[in-house]
Amino acid sequence: MIMKGSSKLIKQVKSCVKAFYKCRQGEANKYHNIDHTISVVKVAKKIARQVKLKEQDRAILLIAAWFHDIGYLTNSKEAHHISARKAIAFLTFIDADSAIIEGVDKAILAAAVPQHPTTLVEQILCDADLYTYLGSKDFRKQTEKLRLETEELTGNKISKKTWHRNELEFMEGHYFFTTYAHSKRGKIKEENLKWLKQVTQEENIAA
């Protein structure tokens, strides 16, 4: 059951983040956009329900999920640090509990790649974020969107060969932290990894 205070707080955060994306989201944000954020929030809710997360932890998780990628609208290199600062600023402005502010800050920073979660809340956020990417049935399209976005936000050209090689290295070292994410998207992730290995091998031969 969601307490009234928590529900109101999450609604305030949701409105703030949606308004920010509406004002700042541009053509460059092909991957890190409001649609991705909404997807992450939905997955976070599912995992929170499955593990029976406590009220305050659930609030921290959902607030962090709403704010976690907002920094990509400003600076992709420091995205999660900017996201955390914006979350802290807003939560402080609306006089949120200090424990929630601290938890949100840590969760957002823990979700930055390479991920380094130390609590269940942080693990859930990390999994929710990559659940819709590495575990996506539409991975090929999603990874291309992310490549193009990275090019535009950084101003650096990235060949598909280089991108695929880097993503392969990343995916080989990644694992889901929660049983839910592993059981729901583990097999799909393995299929995506298999495809990425094949593409990388073909690109190496063609070089």
Give me the pLDDT at residue 86, please. Answer: 97
Task: Supply the CATH number for residue 160's domain.
Answer: 1.10.1300.10
Whether pLDDT at 1 is above 70: no
Average pLDDT on 108-132 reads 96
Of all residues in the chain, the percent with pLDDT exceeding 90 is: 92
Looking up tokens 């205070």 gives 5
Please choose, from the candidates 123, 163, 170, the residue with its C-alpha nearest in 3D space to the C-alpha of residue 147: 163
Confidence of residue 183 (pLDDT cuts 50, 70, 90): very high
Please compute Rg for the chain using Cα positions: 17
Q: How confident is the model at residue 3 (pLDDT cuts 50, 70, 90)?
A: very low
Top-confidence residue, 181 or 132: 181
pLDDT at 200 over 50: yes
Split into its structural domains, the chain has a count of 1
The pair of structure tokens assigned to 72 is: 């990509």
Report whether pLDDT(43) > 80: yes
**Average confidence (pLDDT) over 156-174:** 97
| pTM of the full structure | 0.94
**SS3 for 34?**
helix
Question: Over pLDDT 70: what percentage of the chain?
Answer: 98
pLDDT above 90 for 193: yes
Q: How far apart are CA 150 and CA 72, in angstroms?
A: 10
Least confident piece of the model among 74-78, 114-118, 151-155, 197-201: 74-78
Q: Beta-carbon neighbour count of residue 182 at 10 Å? A: 16
**Band of pLDDT at residue 74, cut at 50, 70 and 90:** confident
Q: Which domain holds residue 83?
A: 4-206
Residue 71 has pLDDT above 90, yes or no: yes
Q: Do residues 113 and 170 lie in contact, with contact meaning Cβ atoms separated by under 8 Å? A: yes
